[in-house]
Amino acid sequence: MSTSEKTVTVVRRPRWLRVVGALALVSTAATVWLGLWVTPPDAVQKNLVRLVYLHPPIAWVALYLAFGLSALASLLYLWRRTRSMFWDRLAASSVEVGVVFNALTLATGMIWGRPTWGVWWTWDARLTSTALLLVLFLGYLALRRVPVDPEVRARRCAVAALIAFVDVPIVHFSVIWWQTLHQGATVLNANLSPTIHGSMAWTLLLGFIALTLVFVWMVGVRYQIEVLADRTGAERLEVSLAERWAEGDLDSSTAGGNGHANGANGSPVRSPTRVGQ
């Protein structure tokens, strides 16, 4: 079919995204190398400490970066002066990547918790809140999948992201509000002096940078997919409408040419003269 051939476009990622992707790959590889081979095992936690280079950076990306970015983008979407689909797509991409990282936060936390605390799960406040956040943002994704007008969807999702984001501070302060098993913040503690030292601190810092880059790259790619999905959706609609109209023309010409176009299921569709509008 000539129409479907026309919709095939070659997608090239923008240069900045490819650069970020390469940097993410290199820094992640460096973190793995430093984390697994260069840094020494911990005096108390032995090799388990190596998860520390991964778990806090993943949590940082999920709980603060991803959901923070989605809240900011949602806010900018709702604000009339900056309203554009760019913010809607950015918020959606960010939440989707955030949900993946949120699940990884829980998974790595559980892998660390089993040998350390002896259980996969404890009803610790921070664990529970992180799990709640996951469900909360799964709800956002569910809301996004409901077929409605893109404008309506964008606005409702923006509101949903903002309401859900209000829950994030509860996660953050839960460590202070509730007395828990979970250890307090190691890097960003109250007086901002890191409590780990040497190669371990550098590896952890690199882990933060690497996973932030991975996050940026994933959101960038996801954003592109969102744009393409919208575009192909619109193109497919045009193609199928054109097909319907063609059928309608055929019907009307064989049925005496009364000039009314009808869809395949008998429901009236818009007249072919409005194709270009």
Partner 1 sequence: MWRDALLVAGKDLRIELRSRVALWQVLPVAVLSLVLYAFALGPARHTLAAAAPGLFWLAVLFSTVLATQRSFAIESGEGTRDGLRVSGIDPAGVFLGKAAAVAAELAVLQVVLWAAMTLLFGVHIHTAWLAIVASFLATIGLATAGTLYGALSAGLRVRETLLPLLVLPVLAPVLLAASRAWSGALTGPVSSGESWLRILGPFAAVYLVVGIVLYGPLLETA
Binding site for partner 1 (CB under 8 A): 78, 132-133, 135-136, 138-139, 142-143, 146, 148, 151-152, 155-156, 158-160, 162-164, 166-167, 170, 177
Residue 23 CB, shortest distance to partner 1, in Å, is 35
**Which CB, 55 or 144, lies closer to partner 1?**
144
Residue 167 CB, shortest distance to partner 1, in Å, is 7
Query: How many angstroms separate the CA atoms of 213 and 207, rounded?
Result: 10
Query: How many angstroms separate the CA atoms of 193 and 107, rounded?
Result: 28
Residue 156 CB, shortest distance to partner 1, in Å, is 5
**Which CB, 75 or 209, lies closer to partner 1?**
75
CB-based contact 106:134 (threshold 8 Å): yes
**Gyration radius from the chain CA atoms:** 25
Per 3-state DSSP, the chain is made up of helix, strand and coil in percentages (nearest 5) of: 75, 0, 25
**Which CB, 167 or 235, lies closer to partner 1?**
167
**Which CB, 27 or 174, lies closer to partner 1?**
174
Secondary structure (3-state) at 217: helix
Residue 28 CB, shortest distance to partner 1, in Å, is 31
**Which CB, 30 or 159, lies closer to partner 1?**
159
CB-based contact 127:121 (threshold 8 Å): yes
Residue 146 CB, shortest distance to partner 1, in Å, is 5
Beta-sheet strands, E only, within 43-122: none
Would you give the DSSP letter of residue 182?
Answer: S
**Which CB, 162 or 269, lies closer to partner 1?**
162
Residue 177 CB, shortest distance to partner 1, in Å, is 7
Per-residue exposure over 52-86, b if at least 16 CB sit within 10 Å of its own CB, e if not: bbbbbbbbbbbbebbbebbbbbbbbbbeeeebeee
